[in-house]
Amino acid sequence: MEQSKKSAITRQKILDSAEAEFAQNGLAAARVDAIAKNAGVNKQLIYAHFQSKENLYSVILSEVYTRLSEYEKVLSESSFTGMETIRMIVMEYFKFLMDNPSFVRLMLWENLNGAAYVGDVKISLFAGAEKLLKQGVENGFLRKDLDIEQTAMSLNMFCFSAFSNIHTMSKLLGKDLSIQAELEKRADHIYEVLVKYILA
């Protein structure tokens, strides 16, 4: 195997291991020894690739936000065609969060860090949703006084909270909110709440 390909494989093993470790323990408690062990590499190799634990953490944040960019891309390439577009925004974000459980945990840890590292991430947050909402306002389907930025933010935070609070709420309510049927019910409710607010 050529050296560049071998190096890329090793780097990906480190990233996969680091994402799991940071998601589980946060930056402060994460251990480079554990990352190295789970990746099957020498600890010094991690420093050779990423210089420090903090830099590796920043790279992981960029990696997970890149996945969010793919969600935004789906929205940016769509056009507003009515209420099914609002449902699509909600369902696409739910799908992203279901497919990327480490994203939720990493964002919770980074909030505890005071967003010390997320500032280095380059992403047009809410751009896709805002574009679609603006189209809905322009074609008269959505209310003309709609605050597009706040609505896009609310949409994002409603969906995110369904996952960030899923364990505590499941325990307190005595039912598993992580099962498919419960998540679909929650997504439908968020959609209905948004529709009642944004319709012209």
What CATH number does residue 33 fall under?
A: 1.10.10.60
Q: Is the pLDDT of residue 126 over 90?
A: no
Kindly state the percentage of the chain with pLDDT values over 70. Answer: 98
**How many domains, in total, are found in the chain?**
2
* pLDDT on residue 1: 57
First to last CA, the chain: 61
* pLDDT on residue 122: 67
- Look up the domain containing 46 and give its range: 1-51
**Does residue 33 fall inside a structural domain?**
yes
**Does residue 56 fall inside a structural domain?**
no
* pLDDT on residue 192: 94
**Does residue 3 fall inside a structural domain?**
yes
Phi first, then psi: what are they for 142, rounded to 5°?
-105, 155
Question: 158 and 70, same structural domain?
Answer: yes
Mean pLDDT of 14-20: 95
Q: What is the 3-state secondary structure (H, E, C) of 57-121?
A: HHHHHHHHHHHHHHHHHHHHCCCCCCHHHHHHHHHHHHHHHHHCHHHHHHHHHHHHCCCCCHHHC
Model pTM above 0.95:
no
**Does residue 156 fall inside a structural domain?**
yes
Contact by Cβ (8 Å): 194, 90: yes
Q: d(Cα 136, Cα 44) in Å, to the nearest integer?
A: 53
Contact by Cβ (8 Å): 146, 198: yes
Question: 130 and 107, same structural domain?
Answer: yes
Question: 163 and 73, same structural domain?
Answer: yes
**Does residue 117 fall inside a structural domain?**
yes
Question: 85 and 28, same structural domain?
Answer: no
Side-chain-side CA neighbours of residue 81 (13 Å): 9
Residue 40 host element (H or E): none
pLDDT, the chain, mean: 91
Question: 136 and 92, same structural domain?
Answer: yes
**Does residue 125 fall inside a structural domain?**
yes
Mean pLDDT of 138-142: 94
